[in-house]
Amino acid sequence: MANAMLLPVLISFLIMPFSAMALTQDFCVADLSCSDTPAGYPCKAGVSAGDFYYHGLAAAGNTSNLIKAAVTPAFVGQFPGVNGLGISAARLDIAMGGVVPLHTHPAASELLFVTEGTILAGFISSSSNTVYTKTLYKGDIMVFPQGLLHYQYNGGSSAAVALVAFSGPNPGLQITDYALFANNLPSAVVEKVTFLDDAQVKKLKSVLGGSG
């Protein structure tokens, strides 16, 4: 009973520092000369209007690559003004036939807004492996919950462009194909955990630059 009564008090003490910071500090522009931490970057000493502005998403990304797609980030590393604000952004360019393979953002949910072209997108729930897919056209938006595997590919007859918002300043990115086949994880291990045969694993490692 005593422990139950103490729990609200402990929770109050835990959230008080964050509440106080929110009330007394308008912003904390990242000092990128320091290391990132779970709580974000330390605050920069001298701040200007330029710290709250970023032009990097104006230009199209280079889609001349294996997946025919490019993600241009406006995360805290490129846009220090989002440090501590729980937001960031990116631009997604997908050429005809291009794809952003199954991937996850471990530290943020994603909101995708199509500005040009047609994008087929979907995500997979972690509880039941249910797939939620949708064809998105110019002006459409779709949300991808934090940590869930999702994908996008160009299903139209022209290049596709989308603007992406994230619920964290550094959402992280792990592409499943690259995690499995673009490193030195031994082929025998990959075969065991994926049920693929040796020839398939080695072919994918060759394509994606892996070894072992």
* Domain ranges for the chain: 65-171, 179-208
pLDDT attached to residue 60: 97
Q: What is the pLDDT of residues 92-101, one digit of tens each?
A: 999 999 999 9
65-171 domain in CATH 3.40.50.150?
no
Whether 119 shows a pLDDT value over 90: the answer reads: yes
| pTM for the full predicted model | 0.85
SS (H, E, C) the chain: CHHHHHHHHHHHHHHHHHHHHHHHCCCCCECCCCCCCCCCCCECCCCCHHHHCCCCCCCCCCCCCCCCEEEEEECCCCCHHHCCCCCEEEEEEECCCCEEEEEECCCCCEEEEEEECCEEEEEECCCCCCEEEEEECCCCEEEECCCCCEEEEECCCCCEEEEEEECCCCCCCEEHHHHHHCCCCCHHHHHHHHCCCHHHHHHHHHHHCCCC
Residue ranges at the known binding site for oxalate: 105, 110
pLDDT attached to residue 25: 82
Q: What is the pLDDT of residues 146-202, one digit of tens each?
A: 999 999 999 899 999 999 999 999 999 999 999 999 999 999 999 999 999 999 999
Q: What is the mean pLDDT of the chain?
A: 90
pLDDT attached to residue 7: 53
Residue ranges at the known binding site: 103, 105, 110, 150
Residue ranges at the known binding site for Mn(2+): 103, 105, 110, 150
Whether 11 shows a pLDDT value over 80: the answer reads: no
Query: How would residue 6 be classed by pLDDT, with cut points 50, 70 and 90?
Result: low
pLDDT attached to residue 19: 42
Q: What percent of the chain has pLDDT over 90?
A: 85
pLDDT attached to residue 155: 87
